[in-house]
Structure 1
Amino acid sequence: MQLNWLPEPQFGGIYAAQARGAFAARGLEVTIRKGGPDVPAVALAASGKVEFALAAADEVVRIRAGGADVVSVFATYQTSPQGLMTYAARGLKSIEELLRAGGTLAVQPGLTYVEFLRKKYGLDAVELVTYQGGIGQFLARKDALDFAQQCFVTSEPIAARRAGVEPATFLIAETGLNPYTSVIITRSAYLAEHRNVVRSFCEALREGWEAYLHDPAPANAVMRGLNPSLDAETFALAAEAQVPLIRTEETRARGLGCQTPERWATLVRQLEDLGAVPAGAVKPEDCFLDLLGAPAPAPGK
């Protein structure tokens, strides 16, 4: 299992599944490999060097358009945690207001949502600069109040608040672009040959995420040992912040990790409209497989 970043709460259910023996109980021997800025998690899965990896749904569509046959089998974040943050003191109420207010916007080049925002709102009023990671730029410009940056709403806003600067945070999902995030991918060939293994893996993930959302402390302790750059309070705050992004009305009805054809069809159409993938190059139904279905109702229901 190849992560696409260092151990953090966004992977809490994976570590919880391992810690509570959910993989082992299903006869699976799972090694969780840390990611980082130089770890090509999607490419490792597409090439078969790992059986499973983390990706975003828009990455799945893009790589399938390029000929890689990967499929999403579990969607952790039902609402994407990607966002923009600026200073609360600016009094801005939406991404549209932010983009029309001027100033500087720090983003990583090539992000799907940057092109989506450019097409929907225009970016002429802001100066785009390259995001350098973390909140260093954000803190350095706090007196000018003319800066905004990309963020995960479960990460950088927490760091800014703990550094004494109150952020205003806006979800990209609120603009209409909401790809599943932290999806588990595997190759279609592996899925065809080992369908029961993949199903068992997803069952263990669902168990792990249920456990983590109920009590993140045990898995947080494991991840802190692997990523000491984050302290216990940051782990706890991030775990709490991500709950409504993972557990939604959809997952209450259909189970954690669920995916729908409608969401994938919308995403493919949006990427086609942006020119990110050729029209007709990717069939939404080929991008995912929901192996688990809805959980059984509780006794008496």
Structure 2
Amino acid sequence: MLRSFQGFAIVLMLASVLLVACGPTPTPEPDQVTLQLNWYHEAEFAGYYVAEAQGFYADENIALTIREGGLDVDVVQALLGREVDISVFGSAEQRKAMEEGNQTVALMAAFQISPRVLFALADSGIQKPQDLVGRRVAIKSEGWRQTIHETLANVGVDPAEIVEVEVKSDAIQMLYDGDVDVWTGYVHDEPVETQLAGYDVNLIFPGDYGVGAYEGLLCVSQETLEQNSDLVARFMRATLRGWQYAIEHPDEAAEVIAKWDPDHSLEFHQLAMRALIPLVDTGEGAIGSIKADQWQRVFADVYDPEHPGYTMQFVKGE
């Protein structure tokens, strides 16, 4: 009888061990990832905010920290100095990295069309670059001057035919008061502000005239891509889900953005989202895609075929 009991106990013990062994595998600790933005919190980063809010990064076992950018933040140095794991670059920052021989790799371009715009009040009659002849155009910086000159040159207009007015970037009241005819900015910012002030606007996208480049480049170092490709793939899956969700639910996305940028109204964020969506989802190619010929055109003077500065291995359909 004792032997039978001992045998039964051994069977129970073995069964318990097997149950434990066959039980669910403990979830590993999430990977800590820091994302550096290249500007202050606003709608242009909607895909990341939404992916975080919807738990898409958590689904990929990623714990995300988002660092705000700004005028004094060097996003290239933050990435190369390993202060952050991944960073949003503008085309200017990627160009800087490529010029200096740094192997940063763009995983996607959030914006197929640059959100940089020239705009005028609707009753001005200004609708295209040719209409700027003889008009007073606000010049905020040398960068904007170059954008305006290139846009005009590409349609056969001599930049000397416009009236340049040096302005401060926050002096948009000059447009409302009629002191200038054309202002510059980003489609999700200054034009939205103007609409909320009660004015209809006409937009001119330099990108429609061959000026500008991909924007919202999500970049990693070549080292990170090679050593942590699985983590990069998971991050990209979550990010693309975030952008797709934001596009399909713009008002919900606006509510999420408002939590990151409470200084603007919900209506501002709603209008900003609607302004950005056509630049993200153009209907041509997958969201985030980068076309080889366009990339080479934009970065022709710094392009190296052995280190092109981008990859499409994580964007579906590319």
Q: TM-score, normalised by structure 1?
A: 0.84
Give the match for residue 230 of structure 2. Answer: 196
Q: Is residue 104 of structure 1 aligned with residue 163 of structure 2?
A: no
Structure 2 residue matching 1:234: 3-state secondary structure:
helix
Give the match for residue 260 of structure 1. Answer: 291
Q: Is residue 124 of structure 1 aligned with residue 160 of structure 2?
A: yes
User: Relative to structure 1, is the Cα distance of residues 150 and 295 closer, same or farther in structure 2, using a 3 angstrom cutoff?
Assistant: same
2: distance between equivalents of 1:40 and 1:130?
Answer: 27
User: Relative to structure 1, is the Cα distance of residues 141 and 295 closer, same or farther in structure 2, using a 3 angstrom cutoff?
Assistant: closer
For structure 1, the 5+ residue unaligned runs are: 273-280, 297-301
Give 1:21 deviation, angstroms. Answer: 1.2
2: distance between equivalents of 1:152 and 1:9?
Answer: 11
User: Relative to structure 1, is the Cα distance of residues 143 and 216 closer, same or farther in structure 2, using a 3 angstrom cutoff?
Assistant: closer
Give the match for residue 91 of structure 2. Answer: 57
- 1:176-255 equivalent positions in 2, closer than 5 A: 176-251=210-285, 255=286
2:37–2:87 contact (8 Å) kept in structure 1? yes
- Given residue 290 of structure 1, which amino acid in structure 2 is its aligned partner? M
User: Relative to structure 1, is the Cα distance of residues 147 and 63 closer, same or farther in structure 2, using a 3 angstrom cutoff?
Assistant: farther
For structure 2, the 5+ residue unaligned runs are: 1-34
Deviations 1:176-199 (A, max 9, x none): 124111110111111111111111
Structure 1, 161-170 or 145-154: larger mean CA deviation: 145-154
Give 1:114 deviation, angstroms. Answer: 4.4
Give 1:143 deviation, angstroms. Answer: 3.6
2: distance between equivalents of 1:71 and 1:151?
Answer: 27
- Given residue 204 of structure 1, which amino acid in structure 2 is its aligned partner? A
1: distance between equivalents of 2:254 and 2:315?
Answer: 28
Structure 2 residue matching 1:37: 3-state secondary structure:
coil
1: distance between equivalents of 2:149 and 2:204?
Answer: 17
Deviations 1:22-66 (A, max 9, x none): 111112121011122222223312332211111123431232112
Give 1:238 deviation, angstroms. Answer: 0.9
1:76 to 99, 110, 129: 110
2: distance between equivalents of 1:189 and 1:234?
Answer: 39
User: Relative to structure 1, is the Cα distance of residues 50 and 147 closer, same or farther in structure 2, using a 3 angstrom cutoff?
Assistant: same
1:73–1:186 contact (8 Å) kept in structure 2? yes
- Given residue 239 of structure 1, which amino acid in structure 2 is its aligned partner? M
1:91 to 103, 111, 125: 125
**Paired residue total:** 280
Structure 2 residue matching 1:23: 3-state secondary structure:
helix
2: distance between equivalents of 1:264 and 1:6?
Answer: 26
Q: Is residue 43 of structure 1 aligned with residue 74 of structure 2?
A: no
Q: Identity of paired residues, percent?
A: 22
Q: Is residue 291 of structure 1 aligned with residue 313 of structure 2?
A: yes
State the structure with more CA Rg: 2
1: distance between equivalents of 2:183 and 2:299?
Answer: 26
Q: TM-score, normalised by structure 2?
A: 0.80
1: distance between equivalents of 2:283 and 2:273?
Answer: 19
